[in-house]
Amino acid sequence: MKTITASNANRGFSNLLREIGKGEEIMILSRGKPVAKITSVNSEVLQKKAMKNLLLSRLKAQDVTGSRNWTRDELYKD
């Protein structure tokens, strides 16, 4: 992950966007402290899909616990 100051990010915003478009993650610092992280939309979408798939595969492999003595209709009674 690349780190850059807020003032440098402001001056070179176009270049920053190009780097992010290529998959680079950028941490923005203000007075030496991290204030923002900029990533490509595509990388976040892919990461969310991967996390969802990991969760679903874990749940499918997991044994069912507890008794299911209710029906779906009973859950939604008014």
3-state secondary structure string across 16-69? HHHHHHCCCCEEEEECCEEEEEECCHHHHHHHHHHHHHHHHHHHHHCCCCCCCC
User: Would the pLDDT of 43 be above 80?
Assistant: no
Average pLDDT, the chain: 91
Mean pLDDT of 2-17: 95
For residue 4, the Cα-to-chain-centroid distance in whole angstroms is 21
User: Would the pLDDT of 71 be above 90?
Assistant: no
Task: Classify domain 1-41 by CATH architecture.
Answer: 3-Layer(aba) Sandwich (3.40)
pLDDT at 78: 67
Helix (H, G, I), strand (E, B) or coil at 4: strand
